[in-house]
Chains A and B, each alone.
Chain A
Amino acid sequence: MNIWLVMLLGGLITFGMRFSLIYLFGRFQVPETMRKALHYVPPAVLSAIIFPELFLREGALDLSLDNARLLAGLVAIVVAWFSKNTLITIIAGVVALFLLQFLLFPR
């Protein structure tokens, strides 16, 4: 699918959700279960993206110590935990990856 079509449909979906209950006021209530489930969308979706990025190399599980992305990711998790700051976390992770690649695979 063309990226512009994806963006257009993605925009329509997003708009539709924002508009839905303002428009349907009183005619539909959000079920309690869905209300609860929504708390878990961010941890679930984000982790589903993060884990393969850290643990897989060319599609195969790599738990070894020369998996630089995994180690740099762990550094970023610790930094995120203490700093609560996006920019600092990104910089720490990128620097960690750079240093680890240099240490593990010196040219």
Chain B
Amino acid sequence: MSEQIKNFWAGVQAEIPLLIGVFPFGLIYGALALNAGLSTAAAQMMSSIVFAGSAQFITAQLVHEAAPGFVILLTIAVVNLRHMLYSASLAPYLASIPTRWKVLLSYLLTDEAYAPTILHYEKEGITPHAHWFLLGAGFSLWFNWQISTALGIFLGAAIPESWSLDFALPLTFIAMVVPVLKNRAAIAAALSAGIVALFAFSLPYKLGLILAALVGILVGTILEGRESPGEAL
């Protein structure tokens, strides 16, 4: 087996445990995106055009709330800003590959592809075929996400409209947010953002969401500066 293929399969193998965790999310996304009012085609294509789990859930919610496009885009930008960190952290290992490879791997760079890849790179150091590992991890996750979305859309279409599952999206967000409330700064960020969102709810264009998110981020960051470093994360 060539070094390239070996690295690719190592990436796939490292990704498998994460695939199991991501699959139900794809199902839920597919089912709820339909329920939020997206067409079958839009719900499915978002999984390949945007290809970012939490941003897709939030987009579905904002479409449901009839938020204007620029607010959705601003929210996607804030939510996905963390990918710049992944990009920075992988850059040294991908410095010598051709630009078309950088483009492909950037498209595939999700949280779940980043996590096993950086662990592998930190262990192995900079090696000539390292990019194949990220391709294996990223592609297997991509494939898994498309299939689980499709299955979710299929299931979602079978759910009777009278069930009114629009509450399931906020519930999904609750399930996402509770595990990250690990310290006082994170809890303060959540509470302050939530309270501002209530008072700023009547602002035009759903701008209250953006304002609330920025206040929450600011509060968390300031509080973290006061706590001992390392307590947050």
Query: Which B68-109 residues have C-beta < 8 A from chain A?
Result: 68-70, 72-73, 75-88, 90-92, 94-95, 99, 102-103, 105-107, 109
Please report B residues at the A interface, Cβ cutoff 8 Å: 24-25, 28, 38-39, 42, 45-46, 49-52, 54-55, 58-59, 61, 63, 68-70, 72-73, 75-88, 90-92, 94-95, 99, 102-103, 105-107, 109, 165, 167-168, 170-181, 185-187, 189-198, 201-202, 208-209, 212-221, 224-225, 232-233
Given contacts A23-B102, A41-B213, A73-B170, contact A6 B87 (CB under 8 A): no
- Please state if B174 and A48 are interface contacts (CB–CB under 8 Å): no
Assess the B174–A41 pair: CB atoms within 8 A: no
Could you pull out 15 A-B pairs where Cβ atoms are within 8 angstroms?
Answer: A1-B70, A11-B50, A18-B107, A20-B84, A22-B105, A24-B91, A25-B92, A25-B95, A36-B224, A39-B233, A42-B180, A44-B193, A47-B191, A76-B171, A89-B172
Q: Number of residue pairs across A and B with beta carbons under 8 Å? A: 259
Q: Are the C-beta atoms of B102 and A22 separated by less than 8 Å? A: yes
Query: Is residue A65 within 8 Å, beta carbon to beta carbon, of the partner chain?
Result: no
User: What chain A residues lie within 8 Å of B187 (beta carbons)?
Assistant: 43
Chain A interface helix/strand/loop/mixed: helix
- Chain A residue numbers with a CB within 8 Å of B193 are 43-45, 47-48, 51
- The distance from the CB of A15 to the nearest CB of chain B, in whole angstroms, is 6
Interface residue? A19 (CB, 8 A): yes
4 A-B pairs with least C-beta separation: A1-B69, A44-B216, A40-B220, A51-B194
Minimum C-beta distance from A44 to chain B (A): 3
CA distance A41 to B201 in the complex (A): 19
> Which residues of A are in contact with B by a Cβ distance under 8 Å?
1-11, 13-15, 17-26, 29-30, 33-56, 59, 61, 69, 72-73, 76-77, 80-81, 84-87, 89-90, 93-94, 97
In the bound complex, CA of A48 to CA of B180 (Å): 15
CB-nearest residue of chain B to A35 = B85
Assembled-state Cα–Cα distance A9/B58 (Å): 15
Task: Please tell me which one of the listed residues A17, A36, A44 contacts residue B213 in the complex, with CB atoms under 8 A apart.
Answer: A44
Complex CA–CA separation, A34 to B216 (angstroms)? 14
Known: A59-B201, A86-B176. A72 touches B76 (CB 8 A): no
**For A43, what are the chain B residues with a Cβ–Cβ distance below 8 Å?**
177, 180-181, 186-187, 189-190, 193, 216, 220
CB distance from B184 to the nearest CB of A (A): 11
- CB proximity of A90 to chain B, nearest CB, Å: 5
Minimum C-beta distance from A78 to chain B (A): 9
Residue of B nearest to A40 (CB): B220
Tell me how far the C-beta of B107 lies from the nearest C-beta in chain A, rounded to whole angstroms.
Answer: 6
Which among A6, A56, A86 is the interface contact of B175 at CB below 8 angstroms? A86
